[in-house]
């Protein structure tokens, strides 16, 4: 019983740390690069790595692509119990909430978080039988 609680606590810590890192990265991209004007404003004349990066970054959230990825992976993780999909949903949701894809990212975030905090079936059955 104590081992399950310790594993759950460590898992929740990993979820919070990964979410915090994703938020810091998204905030840096949005407010440190895009809105601060550190990337070229006009990429039609000068092509370079900075323009390519800017176009790729804008393409990710244009049309809510990041939000749809977060929602799809979070929902699939919720229904299937796949933890890898839940992590993809969690991280992309945290990025999407800051990078202009809040509607679908918020729903994906909730689904992914519910999938991540779900107890494994063997542990849940053992607790249910002991009660």
Does residue 76 belong to any structural domain of this protein? yes
> CA torsion sign, 94 to 4 to 10 to 83?
negative
- Whether residue 129 is contained in a domain is answered as no
Tens place of pLDDT for every residue, the chain, 131 residues? 577 666 767 778 889 999 999 999 999 999 998 888 888 888 877 778 888 888 888 899 888 999 999 999 999 999 999 999 999 999 999 999 999 999 999 999 999 999 998 866 655 555 545 54
In a domain, 71, yes or no: yes
Considering the domain boundaries, does residue 67 fall inside one? yes
Look at residue 20 and tell me if it is in a domain: yes
Within-domain flag for 8:
yes
Q: How many domains does the chain have?
A: 1
The answer to whether position 128 is within a domain reads: no
Question: Residue 127 falls within a domain, yes or no?
Answer: no
Q: Would you state the pLDDT for residue 48?
A: 85
- Whole-prediction pTM value? 0.79
Instruction: Give burial (CB, 10 Å; 0-12/13-18/19+) of 13.
Output: exposed
């Amino acid at each position: 019983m104590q081992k399950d609680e310790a594993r759950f606590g460590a898992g929740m810590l990993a979820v919070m740390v990964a979410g915090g890192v994703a938020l810091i990265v998204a905030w840096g991209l949005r407010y440190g690069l895009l809105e601060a004007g550190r990337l070229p404003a006009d990429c039609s004349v000068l092509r370079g790595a900075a323009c390519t990066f800017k176009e790729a970054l804008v393409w990710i959230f244009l049309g809510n692509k990041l939000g749809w990825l977060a929602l799809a992976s979070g929902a699939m993780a919720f229904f299937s119990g796949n933890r890898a999909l839940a992590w993809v949903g969690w991280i992309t949701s945290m990025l999407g909430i800051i990078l202009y894809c809040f509607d679908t990212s918020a729903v994906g975030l909730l689904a992914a978080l519910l999938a991540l905090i779900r107890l494994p079936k063997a542990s849940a059955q053992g607790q249910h039988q002991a009660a």
